[in-house]
Amino acid sequence: MLAKTRKCSTCFFMILLIGGVIYLPAQAKNPPADVLEPVAPLLDRAEENTQPYEYVLEGRPDPFVPFITKKASTPKLNPDEIIDDDVELTGMRQFEPGQLRLVAVLETGKKKIAMVEDVTGKGYMLNEGTPIGRHGVVSKINLQQVVVTETAHTRAGKEIKNTIVMRLNKEGEQ
């Protein structure tokens, strides 16, 4: 009984659907006459004033140009900025002079050797000409101090020199 009821209701809805589809296009073919009357004068007036549209760029941004340009997106480079060389930091180049403490200076004939230690207490030996830090070179070793000359280059090609002196602490000083 339930299956017959479902079958009948399905048939009923199909008949309504088909009848509605057939009825709607028939109604669209014959629209009422009062609908066309006000639209016709508007179409005639639009055809009389038809001029080709021209986009005036003057005073307006071009809609096809990106908002962000390469010039605006790239940061301005400071000509006084120091350029780091792409050199692998090995040996004493891993330490800046401020990270080392001068412990002793040895003199063997004409040659002088400086002994330094890092913050962990590990010791290293320095000779004149030894590169130290990113830009430094040991330029002179005296009995009481080691002179490190740092030479850096800016973007503009200017050379900046800085001298750092590492002094030997007397006994009991820190």
All residues at 6 or more sequence positions from 155 whose CB lies less than 8 Å from its CB, including other chains = 77, 78, 79, 80, 81, 83
Give residue 54's pLDDT: 81
Residue 122 confidence (pLDDT) above 70: yes
Evaluate whether 156 touches 168 at the Cβ level (below 8 Å).
no
Question: How much is the pTM?
Answer: 0.54
All residues at 6 or more sequence positions from 118 whose CB lies less than 8 Å from its CB, including other chains = 95, 99, 100, 101, 124
The sheet carrying 123-126 orders its strands as 101-108, 111-117, 123-126
